[in-house]
A and B are shown apart, each in its own frame.
Chain A
Amino acid sequence: MSHVAGRPVASREPEAEPHGDPAAAEAPVQVRGLVKKFGTFHALDGVDLTVERGTVHGFLGPNGAGKSTAIRVLLGLYRASSGTVRVLGMDPGRRPSEVTRNVSYIPGDTALWPNLTGRQVLDVLAGLRGRRDAAREEELMERFSLDPTKKVRSYSTGNRKKVMLVAAFAAPTDLLILDEPTSGLDPLMEQIFQDCVEEASAAGRTVLLSSHILSEVERLCTDVTIIKDGVVVESGSLARLQHLAAVEVTVHDDDETLARLAADLAGSGIDTRLAPGESPRGALDFPVDRARLPVVLAKVAVAGSTDVRVASASLEDLFLRHYEVDAR
C-alpha cells in the first residue's frame, strides 16, 4: 500500500480568490501536509485529502485515528499546526465563518441545546446561517418522521441525529461534512439517509462522509481516504483501491492434496493461514496480493485441484487489514 492520493495534485494552481465563484476552479476540500499537535502528541501527522466536486468521499479509519480532529480543522474549530487547508477555496483557520456558512456539518457527538424543541433547534441553526429552505425542511422532517415539537432533552439518540440530518440536508450549502451521521439510526432511516446523500450528490453538492458502516460507504462513496494514527494509509477511488487490494483465493479438495498445496505455497512465502500439522478440513481460504496470483494459480494447477475460486477483496477486507495492525 505504498501508493498515495490517486489524483494529480492541483497545489501549484494560483490560490483562488474567496470572492466571485472560487469553488468552480478547485476541489471543495484540499488538504496538504496537515499536522495537528496537542502538546507533543501528533493527532494528525501530514494528512493529504482531496475531495472532488460533486463526489461522495468516504473518510474511514479506526477509532482514535484522527478523523474527527481533521474534520474540526476543516471547519475552523481547530487551528492547523502546519500544512495548508482549503475548504471551498478558503482557509478555514482564517475565515471560518465564510467557510461554514456554506457547509452543513453533523458532529459525531450530537450535543443539542436540551431545553429547545426540535423545531427551535432548526430555527436557530437556519437563523444563524441567515439562509433557509423551509419547504425542504418540512419535507425532510416528514421523510425522517421527526416530531419537531418535543424538547431535545426527551429525544432519543436517533431522534437527535434526525434533527441534525434535517438541518444538514435542508440547508442551502455546497459541502456536507458528516461525522458518523447514522450512528443510532434504525435501518429504515439509514436507507432514507442514503437516499438523501445520493440526492445531494446528484444536485452537485459535495459530501465528506466519515463512517464505520462499510456497506454504507461501499454504496455511497466514489472515493475513500483511510487514515490511521494521524496518517493517510489509503486514498483514491474505491474501485481502484479494491482492484489493488489483495484477492481472496478459495481451493476445495481432499485434505491430503490441500496440505501438500499449503506446504508448497508456504515454500514460496505465501501464507495460507494453515498452521503446520493442522488439517485443512476440505478447503483452503487465504488472501494474496494480486501480483502473486499467477504464482498461486500455477501451484494450484500443479496440485491438480479443479475447484478454485478467486474473489476481489471487499472494502471490509481492505479495511480490516489496517484495523488489525492498529489493534496491536
Chain B
Amino acid sequence: MTGLWPATRLMFRRHRVALIAWALSLLLLVAITVPSYQQTYPGLSERAPLVAQMQNTDGTRLLYGILHDPGTLGQLFTWEVGAYVVVLTCVMALLLAVSTTRGEEDAGTLELVRASGVKPMAPLVAAMILVFTACLLVGGGSSAVLIVQMLWAEDLAADELTLVGAVGFGALTTLAGFTVGLVAMVLAQLRGEARGARSWAFIFVGVTFLMRVMADEAISNSDWPQWLKALNWFSPFGWKEVVSPYTHDRTWALAVFAGACLALIACVAALYTRREYSESILPDRSTSTRGMRVRSVESWSWAAGRSHVAGWAVAVLLIAALFGSMTGGLVQTLRESEPTRQLLEQMSASSAASGAPGVDAGDLAAAADTLAPENLLAQFYEFLGLYVAILVAVFAISAVLRWRGEEKAGYLDLELTAGTKRWRSLLARCTLSAVCSVVLLAASAALMGWLGEMQMAGEVGAGEAFRQSMTATFGQVPAVLAGVGVVAVLIAVVPRWSGAIWAVVAVAASIQTFGGLVNPPQWVLDLSLYAWAPALGDDWPWAQMILLTAIGVLGVVGAAASVGRRDVTTG
C-alpha cells in the first residue's frame, strides 16, 4: 500500500510520548504487583483469610470481578491489578484511536498526509497499527514480565505462576484493548468531531463494564438470572473472566476475540471508504440560530463548562447508583459470615501466639472485627466513597485544567482581551469546579445512602446506611478541594507543569487502592489525599480535614492573586 510505511512512521513520531508513557506506567504496575503480594503474603495459607474476605466483599467484586480459589499469586494478580491493566489499556487504546483518526482530521494534519500521494486507506491502517502496537506493548510486555517473574521465583511461588496463565493474560489484554480501540475508530467514523467520538466511546466502555459487573454477579449469586453470565463474552472487560488466566486458562476463547477484532477492522474500513474526508456518517448538526446570554465571566464559565459538568454528573451518579445497589449483597455476606469470622479469630489468636512472620496479628483481628454488620457496612461505604471521591477529584481537576487548555488553544486570548479580569476568569473556573464537586459528592453520597437504607432495612439501625454513606463520601470533600487548590497554583505559577497534577492524583489513588494489599509504611499511606475521610468508630481526623480544606482555599486564592504576574502563552 503506497505510503503506509511513511504514514505509520509519522503516526508513531506524533504519538510516541503518549504511547511510551502509557506502556511504561502500566508495565511498572504489572512488575511491582507479584513481588509485593509475595512479600506481604508469602504462602497460600497465610493468604487464605484475606482471599476469603475479598471473595465476600461485594465492592471489590464489582470493580475487579471474581477472585478464584485458592488465590494463587497469578489469580490475585489477574483479579486485582489485572483488572486495572485491562481497563487502562482499553482507555489508552480509546484515546489513541480517536486522536490518530478523527483527531488528526480535526487538526487538519491528515489533510497534508492525504495530499501527499498516499493511498487513502494508508493513514487509517497506520492508526490501527499504532493502536495495536500500543496494546501489544502492554499485553505482551505483561506476559514477558510475568514469565520472567515465574522463572526467577522460588519453587513454591513458581507453582503459583504459569506460562499459559501469563500468555493468556497478555493476549486477552492486547485483544481487549485493540477491540475498544477499534470500536472507538468506528465511532470516529460516525461522529464528526473527536470530542463526540470520545464521549461515545467512553459510554461504550461504561456500558460494557456494567455488562461485566452483571455477568460476574450472576456467576456469584445463583438467584440472579443465569443467562446474564453470557454477557461476559460481549464485554472486553468480561474476557478476563472468560479466559480466567491461572485458573481455567480457556485460551481457545482468544481466537473468538481475535475474530471480533477482524470483524471490527472490516467495519471501520467499510465506514471509512463510505464517507468524505472530514465528513461523518451521522449528520453533524452545525447550524443554529440560538444566541448565548453571557453577562459576566462567571456566566460564561458556566455556559462553556456545563456540558463537561453534565457528562461527569451523569457518569458519577450512574456509578453511585450502581455501587449503592450492590449494598444488598452485604445481607447475604452477613448471614454467611459467621464461620469465616470464627476462622479469622482463631487464626489471629494462633499467629499472635506463635509470632509467625509476615502475618500481622492485628490485621487479622481487625479483619475479624470488620465482619460485624455496622463495620462491614462502614468498610463497604469507605471503599465506595473512595472510588466516587477519586472520580469526582478527576472531574474537579479536569474542570480547572480546561482553563489552561483554553489558554494553550488561544481561546483565552479572546476572553482576556474583551475586558475580562484574569484573576476572575481563573477564579470562576475554580469556583465552578469546587461547587459542582461538592454537589456531586453530596448527591452521590445521598444516592448510595438511600439505596443502602432500602436494602439494609432490618440488618442495621434505621438511618445507619445513610449516615455512613454521607460520612465516607462527603467526608472526601476536603481532599477534592485540596486537589483543586493544587492544580490552580500549578496553572498560575508553573503552567507548563500543570499536567503533573495527574501524577499526584494517580499516586494518591494508587496508595489508597493498592495500599491494602501491598502494605506500604504508614507515612506513605498518610501522604495520600484520600486517606482522610472520617471512618466509623475513630475520631474524625479534623486536623487533616482542615489542612486539606485550607490547601484548597488558599491554593485557589493564591492562584487567583498571582496568575496576573505571568505571560499568557499559546501553543
Q: Which residues does A use to contact B, with CB under 8 Å?
A: 72, 75-79, 96-98, 100-103, 105, 107, 109, 111-117, 119-120, 123-130, 149-151, 153-154
B196's nearest neighbour on chain A, judged by CB, is: A115
Contacts of A126 in B (CB 8 A): 294
Taking a contact as CB atoms under 8 Å apart, the answer to whether B289 and A119 are in contact is: yes
Given A77-B416, A100-B416, A128-B418, does the pair A151, B410 have CB atoms closer than 8 Å?
Answer: no
* A210 CB to nearest chain B CB (Å): 15
Residues of A within 8 A of B15 (CB): none
Encode contact with A along B253-297: 1 for CB under 8 Å, 0 otherwise.
000000000000000000000000000000000111111111111
Q: Do the beta carbons of B292 and A120 come within 8 Å of each other?
A: yes
Chain B residues packing against A (C-beta within 8 Å) = 193, 195, 286-297, 299-300, 303-304, 409-411, 413-422, 564-568, 570
A sample of 16 more A-B contacts (CB under 8 A), given A77-B413, A107-B417, A113-B414, is: A100-B420, A101-B418, A111-B410, A112-B411, A117-B288, A123-B293, A126-B294, A128-B297, A128-B418, A128-B419, A128-B420, A129-B418, A130-B419, A149-B288, A151-B288, A153-B286
For A153, the chain B residues whose CB sits under 8 A away are: 193, 286
Chain B residues whose CB sits within 8 angstroms of the CB of A120 once the complex forms = 288, 290-292
In the complex, which of the residues B303, B409, B414 contacts A125, with contact meaning CB atoms closer than 8 Å? B414
Evaluate contact between B286 and A123: CB separation under 8 angstroms: no
A102 to B417 alpha-carbon distance, docked (Å)? 9
Chain B residue nearest to A151 in the complex (CB)? B286
Q: Is the interface of A mostly helix, strand, loop or mixed?
A: mixed
B93 CB to nearest chain A CB (Å): 25
* Contact (Cβ within 8 A) A150 B414: no
Given contacts A77-B413, A78-B567, is CB(A125)–CB(B288) below 8 Å? no
Distance in Å from the Cβ of B105 to the closest Cβ of chain A?
A: 11
For B299, the closest partner residue in chain A by CB is A127
Q: In the bound complex, how far is the Cα of B566 from the Cα of A129, in angstroms?
A: 22
**Nearest Cβ on chain A to B195's Cβ, whole angstroms:** 8
Question: Which of B290, B415, B419 has the most A CB atoms < 10 Å from its CB?
Answer: B419
A96 to B409, CA, bound (A): 20
Task: Name the contact of B287 in the complex, choosing from A103, A117, A123 (C-beta under 8 A).
Answer: A117
Contact between A100 and B413, CB atoms less than 8 A apart: no
The answer to whether A119 touches B422, judged by C-beta atoms less than 8 angstroms apart, is no
CA distance A261 to B338 in the complex (A): 117
Cβ of A79 and Cβ of B293 under 8 Å apart?
no
Q: With the chains together, A278 CA to B211 CA distance in Å?
A: 85
CB-based A-B contact count at 8 angstroms:
108
Set of chain A residues within 8 Å of B421, measured between Cβ atoms = 96-97
Given A97-B419, A127-B300, check contact A109 B570 (CB 8 Å). Answer: yes
Cβ 8 A contact of B292, one of A72, A97, A109, A123: A123
- Give 25 pairs: A residue, B residue, CB < 8 Å, sorted on A: A72-B567, A75-B416, A77-B413, A77-B567, A79-B566, A96-B422, A97-B422, A98-B419, A100-B420, A105-B417, A107-B410, A111-B409, A111-B414, A112-B414, A113-B414, A116-B292, A119-B292, A120-B292, A123-B292, A125-B418, A129-B418, A129-B419, A130-B419, A149-B288, A154-B286
Residues of A close to B290: CB separation below 8 A: 117, 120
**Closest A-B pairs by Cβ, 7 of them:** A127-B294, A101-B419, A111-B410, A128-B418, A120-B292, A105-B417, A151-B286
Q: Which residues of B contact A79 (CB under 8 A)?
A: 565-567
Residues of B within 8 A of A154 (CB): 286
Q: Residues of A contacting B296 with CB < 8 Å?
A: 127-128
- For A97, the chain B residues whose CB sits under 8 A away are 416, 419-422
> Do residues B289 and A124 form an inter-chain contact, with CB atoms below 8 A?
no
Residues of B within 8 A of A114 (CB): 193
B419 in contact with A100 (CB, 8 Å): yes
Residues in A neighbouring B286, C-beta threshold 8 A: 150-151, 153-154
Q: A38 to B418, alpha carbons, bound, how many Å?
A: 26
B415 near A128 (CB under 8 angstroms)? yes
Q: In the complex, what distance in Å separates the CA atom of A154 from the CA atom of B166?
A: 49
C-alpha spacing A100/B421, complex, angstroms: 10
Distance between A152 CB and nearest chain B CB, rounded to angstroms: 9
Query: Closest CB-CB distance, A175 to chain B, in whole Å?
Result: 11
- Are A150 and B411 within 8 A (Cβ)? no
Whole-angstrom distance between the alpha carbons of A246 and B300 in the complex? 54
Bound complex: CA of A257 vs CA of B210, how far in Å? 94
Chain A, Cβ-Cβ closest to B566: A79
Q: Is the CB of B422 within 8 A of A124?
A: no
The residue on A at minimum CB distance from B287 is A149
Q: Is the Cβ of B568 less than 8 Å from the Cβ of A77?
A: yes
Query: Could you tell me the distance between the alpha carbons of A201 and B296 in the complex, rounded to whole angstroms?
Result: 30
A96 vs B416: C-alpha distance in the bound complex, in angstroms? 8
Query: Assuming the A-B contacts A111-B411, A130-B419, are A150 and B565 also in contact, with contact meaning beta carbons closer than 8 angstroms in the complex?
Result: no
Assembled-state Cα–Cα distance A324/B288 (Å):
48
Q: Which residues of A contact B564 (CB under 8 A)?
A: 96
Which residues of chain B are near A109, meaning CB under 8 Å? 410, 570
A69 closest partner in B (C-beta): B567
Which residue of chain B is the closest to A38 with respect to CB atoms?
A: B567
Taken together as a complex, chains A and B put the C-alpha atoms of A178 and B565 apart, in Å, by: 25
- Nearest residue, chain A, Cβ from B192: A153
Contact of A107 among B289, B291, B294, B413 (CB under 8 A): B413
- Give CA–CA (A234, B246) in the complex, Å: 78
Q: How far is A119 from B290 in the complex, measured between Cα atoms in Å? A: 8
